[in-house]
Amino acid sequence: MENQELIEQVTEKAEKWLTPAYDAETQAEVKRMLENDDKTELIEAFYKDLEFGTGGLRGIMGVGSNRMNIYTVGAATQGLSNYLKKNFKDLSQISVVVGHDCRNNSRLFAETSANIFSANGIKVYLFDDMRPTPEMSFAIRHLGCQSGIILTASHNPKEYNGYKAYWDDGAQVLAPHDKGIIDEVNAIASAADIKFQGNPDLIQIIGEDIDKVYLDMVKTVSIDPEAIARHKDMKIVYTPIHGTGMMLIPRALKMWGFENVFTVPEQMIKDGNFPTVVSPNPENAEALSMAVNLAKEIDADLVMASDPDADRVGIACKDDKGEWVLINGNQTCMMYLYYILTQYKQLGKIKGGEFCVKTIVTTELIKKIADKNNIEMLDCYTGFKWIAREIRLREGKQKYIGGGEESYGFLAEDFVRDKDAVSACCLIAEVAAWAKDNGKSLYQLLLDIYVEYGFSKEFTVNVVKPGKSGAEEIKAMMENFRANPPKELGGSKVILSKDYKTLKQTDDKGNVIAIDMPESSNVLQYFTEDGSKVSVRPSGTEPKIKFYMEVQGAMGCRNCYASAESAAMEKIEAVKKSLGI
């Protein structure tokens, strides 16, 4: 039996899309859905509005209020325009940057947005073609704009597209502006409220002019050009997985001095269908398989892959047996910071006041590296907008020298305010050259870090609970952890519990102190006597609860990696048992 009430609701909503405010093609598609006896498609397209959240929009492309199309994108842009005009009313000319990735409809959505901004009297700098997200972030600051948007769904499947909004500091929007923009977007009642008719005089096409300045700035991130010069013929394989990285990353590597960069030809083709991969996500081994195959053929030193909007990078290198292995996000973050800190120290560049940033679920091992080098390490929430916030708060007072997260994002510079695969690809290649200079491979460098600072193994478990009952189960699980926090994990006593919802932390003696964070978040963390850390949080976008586990161990020598890994996995199994997962 179909839910008649829901069908009536979506029918009423869909019929509003049969007015002249919507184009003929859209109206025809809505009519087709309305006339179809099977109402599944109609319900999916109209049962709710695609929500403009704190990260902007993300959804499946198609016709309807719950889909990415020129009308939902248009409402987001009109709402953002209205907010900018209120917020910067004293400026004689408000300006924005508009960028996009390789996805289907990304150019259409970018041009539609440019027209709407300009129709609202806002000057638009529109990129002539797809560009990496970090370059768009750079352009906001470089051009002195008040905001910027990028049309991208990052590493989501091909059916998706997205819309991310940025503020005048080049970072994704934070409070109070995020809520302010959401209110304005929600106030757009229909397509009739959107000014689609652009003003060409207010739209300026940008491209190579920004590429050049940005790439020159990225070149300044290089710390040891001599090491690169000595190993300029090091073989590097790079793939953009059909995305924006192809526009700049091979060129950036060449500018840094790497002369032997091979690209995966089949994946150097701009294609929003991502035909050569199951998912364009460099966290997945499968997305790097073509690059690794090419690396085996040519006996390369390093493999790198950037995601479609080139803000994240996945890498692979050879282990001591000559087998290709993937390096995870925690490990790359660790190598970046280890390299930067070691080099800064050696070159006498540490003057005091330097700081690094990591997210609360990223490995604690990088805090050990920072502590040992007397560098302040800050913790922030997941997402680069929080890392950007820490940079902004310390601007002009302290020097930012790097920050990253376990989900394959790293930022080595402060002239960009989002994770940057362009500088990260060049920097990891420089780290590999420096390791070679010191008679070791990138893999051996990773092992040496473990020997010096202790071994750490990170492991994430996603417990999926679909549907309404699943959401209630997840809520109950979080409530139960709050009411009955674990006393031990994997046989080791819990000595500190953090609740980011109440912003209170409690030690094993019952002492409670406040946690200094900008806002609350539904995350729980437990730290044990033996150095293990467990973070628990419900996913904001999917019906699941995530458990991030990190266990510490010792590694006496390079050859002890396998035994350290196996001991860590045993400990993780014991922690899972303690958590009941």
**Is pLDDT at 541 greater than 90 in this prediction?**
no
Distance CA 228, CA 445 (A): 16
Helix (H) or strand (E) holding 130: none
CB 444 within 8 A of CB 436: no
Residue 487's pLDDT is: 95
Class of domain 455-579: alpha beta
> Over pLDDT 90: what percentage of the chain?
93
Per-residue pLDDT tens digits for 183-211: 999 999 899 999 999 999 999 999 999 99
**Is pLDDT at 339 greater than 80 in this prediction?**
yes
Residue 261's pLDDT is: 98
Q: In the predicted model, what is the mean pLDDT of residues 259-265?
A: 98
Residue 470's pLDDT is: 82
Per-residue pLDDT tens digits for 53-72: 878 999 999 999 999 999 99
Residue 426's pLDDT is: 98
pLDDT-based confidence at 271, cuts 50/70/90? very high
Please state, rounded to an integer, the average pLDDT across all residues of the chain: 95
Residue 53's pLDDT is: 83
**Is pLDDT at 1 greater than 70 in this prediction?**
no
**154 part of the active site:** yes
Two tokens at 73? 């994108």
CATH H-level, domain 48-206: superfamily: Alpha-D-Glucose-1,6-Bisphosphate, subunit A, domain 3 (3.40.120.10)
The per-residue DSSP string of 31-79 comes to HHHHH-S--HHHHHHHSSPPP-BTTBEEEEBSSSTTSBSHHHHHHHHHH
In this structure, the chain runs to a length of 581
Check whether domain 214-452 has CATH 3.40.120.10, yes or no:
yes
Hey, what's the torsion of the CAs at 350, 351, 352, 356, to 10 degrees?
A: -40
Contacts (Cβ under 8 Å, ≥6 apart) of 547:
460, 461, 462, 463, 534, 535, 536, 576, 579, 581
Residue 281's pLDDT is: 95
CA-atom Rg of the chain in angstroms: 25
From 118, 137, 154, 407, the catalytic residue: 154
CB 221 within 8 A of CB 430: no
Q: In the predicted model, what is the mean pLDDT of residues 220-245?
A: 98
Q: Which own/partner pairs from 30-33 qualify as long-range (CB within 8 Å, at least 24 positions apart)?
A: 30/63, 30/64, 33/63, 33/64
Residue 543's pLDDT is: 79
Distance CA 374, CA 356 (A): 11
Two tokens at 39? 């109402």
> In 10 A of CB 416, how many CB atoms?
31
> Over pLDDT 70: what percentage of the chain?
99
**Is pLDDT at 78 greater than 60 in this prediction?**
yes
Poorest-pLDDT segment among 53-67, 103-117, 266-280, 411-425: 53-67
Residue 466's pLDDT is: 80
Judge if 48-206 and 214-452 fold alike in CATH terms: yes
Structural domain spans, the chain = 48-206, 214-452, 455-579
Instruction: Answer whether the bond into residue 176 is a cis peptide, omega within 30°.
Output: yes
**Is pLDDT at 467 greater than 80 in this prediction?**
no
Residue 2's pLDDT is: 55
